[in-house]
Amino acid sequence: MDRRTVILGTATSVAGSATAALAWPPERRCDDPRERRNLRVMEEWVDNLVTGGDNSAFKSPDMTVTTPAALPYGGTIPDAEYGEALARYWGPPPTPPEGEPTLFADADRVFLQGTFAATGQPTGLAVEVPLVEVFTLARGLVTNDTLYFLDLDVILAALDA
């Protein structure tokens, strides 16, 4: 659990406040059991991402991923197609840099603030771009993952798009 910071309670903005960061386990507890459950799901999700584990147990069968429309695989697509696009355009799955990401919970959404670090297959250009992901959960399963790259031009350059 030392790889990231977890912020409990309602997020007022995606950026959040550094002063609101809590060490895990938190000294105070979130009052909303749904937010606690969703944070636990996303903590395991991130742990699996870092260790190369399988996240299929956390995915709704009809999970979708939404990416910027400017990307060659942009828009809202089924998760399986997104996995294929990642492999085709980025090679091995990206893993978060040490110390990331930060998680924020707000009802049925969990916001992940971190860094997308990967190498574009078309150009060989390695990128590290700040990223915010908004995961929507229902009954403890991820139904949608929406990605917001904070420097889309760098991503497009790596893909030669």
Q: Are 8 and 25 in contact (CB under 8 A)?
A: no
Query: What span, in angstroms and rounded, lies between the C-alpha atoms of 63 and 126?
Result: 28
- Does the pTM surpass 0.85? The reply is no
pLDDT above 70 for 18 = no
pLDDT above 80 for 27 = no
Domains and CATH numbers, the chain: 5-158 (3.10.450.50)
Name the pLDDT band for 6 (thresholds 50, 70, 90).
very low
pLDDT digits (tens, 9 = 90+) for 35-78: 889 989 999 988 887 788 889 999 999 999 999 999 999 999 99
Query: What span, in angstroms and rounded, lies between the C-alpha atoms of 80 and 13?
Result: 30
pLDDT at 49: 79
SS3 breakdown of the chain: % helix, strand, coil, rounded to 5?
25, 35, 35
pLDDT digits (tens, 9 = 90+) for 84-128: 999 999 987 666 666 668 888 888 999 999 888 899 999 999 999
Query: What span, in angstroms and rounded, lies between the C-alpha atoms of 24 and 22?
Result: 6
pLDDT at 102: 87
